[in-house]
Amino acid sequence: MAELMFECARAGRPSRLHTKEQLLRVASRLTPTNIAAHPTRVIETQDLCGAIVNPCDEGVRVTQGGVLLGGVIGEPGRWWDIGAQPPDGTYVLVRYSSTSIELLTDMTASRTLWYAHDEDRFVVSTSQRVIVALLGDFDLDHGAVSWLLSSGTLGPECSWDSRVRRLLPDSRLTFDRRTWRSTLEQHPAVFAAVARSREDHLRRLRDAIADSCAALDIDTDRWLLPLSGGLDSRMILAFMVKAGRPPRCLTWTTRASLRNPLSDACIARLVARRFHVEHDYAFLDDGPRDGGAALQRFVEVSEGGTDEFAGYVDGCDLWSGLFASGLSGVIRGDDPIGARRRAASLDGARRQGIGVMVTDYPEAHLVRRLGLVDQDWPKRLQRQPWEGFEPYRDRMSHEGYIPNALAPLTGVKCRFLEVVNPLLSRRIIAVVRSFPDELRMYGRAFSAIVDRECRLIPHARFASTPAASEYLADEQIVRAIVTELTSAAIEGVISEEAAMTLLAAVASPSHTPATARSLAIAAMKAARVALPSRLAYRLTPRYQGPEPLTAIKLAFRATIASKTVALLRQDAEAL
């Protein structure tokens, strides 16, 4: 439910830190316009100041030497001591003293921590907008534009401002306030199979999941479990019930999805009945909706980190309602089991890790004609000489997909409520990384455990959120796209000529052609519906290229980029 910001001065230099009133002004800009946020908590010590925006009683830990946002699993120990071992859980952590400041992420960077510095100040925040406001100016990284348009995310290492860096998964960055230098300690994900029987592997995973769900440091009366029809949320539900801590469950859906017997919404109801827990629905398509206003709020809370708008088409009214009800947070089911689809090549594994680049598209594709800057795939994310293909593919899930695709969505939710991911505990991740390749494939290990708890309940085959094709056909969304592409602001991200090229493609009657490839993929997915899950997963096509990218979807991403850059320019002038 909170965002944090810190600013510290260089030792021995005149302090140019911002005042309490200025920090509160920045905090007010972060607060979603559809909630009445909790009062901002300001922290002031010698040559260091900070603030926690919208804090609540749970999910926020504060001492004289540190701040932890997120969920802890088990005993946290002296988590605020610089140099101490980090606790288990999913969080961001800042520790500080008169001589240094230390930043830490959890094993998969399930929530992002950003930082930057100039000659006199070091700034860190869960929000890029905060850092730009505190630095007082904005320097666009054009690589972020390329990544958002090609992949729908900011890619593996980009931020909107060229000076801002993100802390990598399972990392500790220590910044010395005297020498003004940083030291980064980062632990790469290593998948190394351990010789055990299949049953022994599954027993270890079952025990790790049981312990993680039982040791969640939350009040289950004030936290919700978003329940889908898939593996992950029902896994958490099963083991929380076993631990005697049944949570309340909620499924967000559309009215149409509720009529589909194989949708998330319908299967979630069966799962809730199986475990006798309280379950409710929240409908994304109830009441009047202003698509343009919903898109603007999505940009403000996501900070242009993702194009996954489907769960927020209601303008985040679902999340403001949960906040108003007095909830502290939600228990998410992001998991470390690895890719559920088969990648046919190293490039396919990269793309599954949200590494889709402009050059992955055919030369004649529209995205290749927009004059976007070149992209690089970091050396640390390339396959290593000792690494097999399957371990590399699954490492891209831990070091690519979770921190680059899921973390931005967690960031959206954290503007309203806190988030904890028990399946991303250190113990569970360590067990998964010790599996043989075949146990990680298609989620076999999780299926083997869950199916013992939920026999005869099928897995959902259809999402309950609107498809991109639905909201991209909304008249107000289309109007917002056209308005942005014809505005002066668009030239901040792509040239006027590129914007007109994109607009012309959107206006073409054939801007969303049903190509032979997309039809084939749709047919395969339809065929999977009638088959058992294990067989259905085997029918998933081995994708040879990126998912189809239509002109309207590309224009939607360009609109998000343009709106985000305009917002950041305003933030830079806020103080």
pLDDT of residue 383: 93
The fold of 198-569 is: Rossmann fold (3.40.50)
Q: Are 271 and 241 in contact (CB under 8 A)?
A: no
Domain spans, the chain:
3-187, 198-569
Burial class (CB in 10 A: 0-12, 13-18, 19+), 195: exposed
pLDDT of residue 240: 95
pLDDT of residue 342: 65
The fold of 3-187 is: Glutamine Phosphoribosylpyrophosphate, subunit 1, domain 1 (3.60.20)
pTM: 0.92
Q: Return the H-helix or E-strand segment holding 376.
A: none
Contacts of 312 (CB under 8 A, 6+ apart): 294, 297, 298, 412
CA 431 to chain centre: 23
Place of tokens 């970091």: 378
Tokens of 314: 């209601």
Tokens of 3: 């965002």
Contacts of 199 (CB under 8 A, 6+ apart): none
The pLDDT profile of the chain, 575 residues, written as one tens digit per residue, is 689 999 998 877 767 788 999 999 999 999 999 999 999 999 988 789 999 999 987 888 999 899 999 999 999 999 999 999 999 999 999 999 988 999 999 999 999 999 999 888 899 999 999 999 999 999 999 999 999 999 999 999 999 999 999 999 999 999 999 999 999 999 999 999 999 999 999 999 999 999 999 999 899 999 999 999 888 999 999 999 999 999 999 999 999 888 899 899 999 999 999 999 999 999 988 766 789 999 999 999 999 999 999 999 999 999 999 999 999 999 999 988 866 666 778 888 888 878 999 999 999 999 999 999 999 999 999 999 999 998 999 999 999 999 999 999 999 999 999 999 999 999 999 999 999 988 887 778 888 898 887 777 888 888 888 888 889 988 999 999 999 999 999 999 999 999 999 999 998 865 444 444 454 445 545 544 555 545 544 554 444 567 889 999 999 999 999 999 999 999 999 98
* Cα 251 to Cα 202: distance, rounded to the nearest angstrom: 29
